[in-house]
Structures are given as C-alpha cells and as structure tokens.
Amino acid sequence: MCDLRVGESCLHDLKRVPTALFDKPYHSLAFYLPRAALDAIADDANAPRIRDLSYKPGAGVNDVTISGLGSLLLPALSHPDQANPLFVDHVLLAVGAHIAHTYGGMRPVSRPARGGLAPWQERRAREFLRANIKRGVALKEVARECGLSVGYFSHAFRHTLGVAPHKWLIEQRVVLSKEKLRDDGLSLSDVAAECGFSDQSHLTRAFRQTVGVSPGEWRRALQR
C-alpha cells in the first residue's frame, strides 16, 4: 500500500509480471525500456552491460529528471502530427541514459574524448536530413547512414554543427520556407506542407522562434 504523488515515478521489471490495483483516477506516462536499449546505452558508454536495476517495486520515487523529461514529451503526445521524431528520440535516449546511470549503476570506463563527425559523415548527415525534410526521420536512421551508434552520433553532430539534429532540421525547414514564401502563388498552408510542417500554425511558431516575425509579416516586408 502506498500513495503516489504528482511527478513521482515507479519502476517495474516486466520479467516479474507486475500487477497493481489503482483505486482512484490518475494520469500517467509510461516508458518501456527494452533490454536491447540498455545494452546499446552501456556499449556506447564503453561500460559493462547492466544486469538488473536497483529499485523498490511499487514505491514512488521523486525523480525530477524523469518527470522533467516526461513533461518535455507531453506537447508531442498531445499533437503527434507536429512531433519532430528527432526530438522525441533525443528525449527517449536521455531517459534511457538516466535510468542506466541512476538505477543500473552504469559507470563509463575512461576512453578518449569524443570528437565531431568526419567530413564525409557530416556531408551524409546533412544530405540525408535535407532529403527527408518533409517526412522527418528517426535519429537511428541518420546515425546508421553515418555508421555510428545513436548516442555517439548525437554527441558528434552537436559537436560539429553546434546544435542538436532536430534543431538543425527545423532551421533547414525555416530556410526552405523563406524560399517558398517568395512565391506569391503559394498560401501559407501550401508553404507549410512543402516544408514538412504539419500545418500553418506549426510553420508560424517555428518561423517566429527562428526569425523573430511570422511568415506572413516576413512575406509582406519582402514585398515592400
């Protein structure tokens, strides 16, 4: 018997077939972390693989990292059509790494400092992201194109280009939208669809955050 408070987390090992009885309505966010994901995180950190997690079954834990990362995903879950797969992948990778370190006792073995992408990897990553600018891609797809693990690619991309892959992709969509906005025959909805945004409001938010004005204002200034 235990009370769970807002923001607390519970860990369960599905090998133990956990069951629970909830006697009140509640909202929850569930993360499913496969064994293969833990193995990949440990391998990427050059650390021994994790056998079991250390936790008390059924007990609530005030883990601000998990609750914070979960909160980051709520807008994407509310509007999945606007969710950037690269962003979602980054958050999930962070959740997995936190679980491995905090509850799995993962401690990386010392290794040479990581650098950035090789020139051919940077070129391939840019080409692949631009080629899929409308549909979006998963982080593991881009990493695979560069012959790297997801964790290493994420670090190397940021090291080389200064931003995370999902941020870079949004910036490229905004750059493309500027080109499309020069065509007076395209409505803002048309521009949004051509550039990989889910709708006009999605384009407007991303454009304003990057450029400082709405796409409509930018187009009118261009015409003047």
Q: If we measure between CA atoms, which residue out of 65, 93, 71, 223 comes closest to residue 158?
A: 93
Residue 209 has pLDDT above 70, yes or no: yes
Going by pLDDT thresholds of 50, 70 and 90, the confidence category of residue 114 is low
Residue 208: the pLDDT is 92
Better-scored residue on pLDDT, 98 or 23: 98
Residue 110: the pLDDT is 55
Mean pLDDT of 10-20: 88
Residue 112: the pLDDT is 47
Going by pLDDT thresholds of 50, 70 and 90, the confidence category of residue 111 is low
- Bridge partners for 61 per DSSP: 9
**Model's pTM, two decimal places?**
0.64
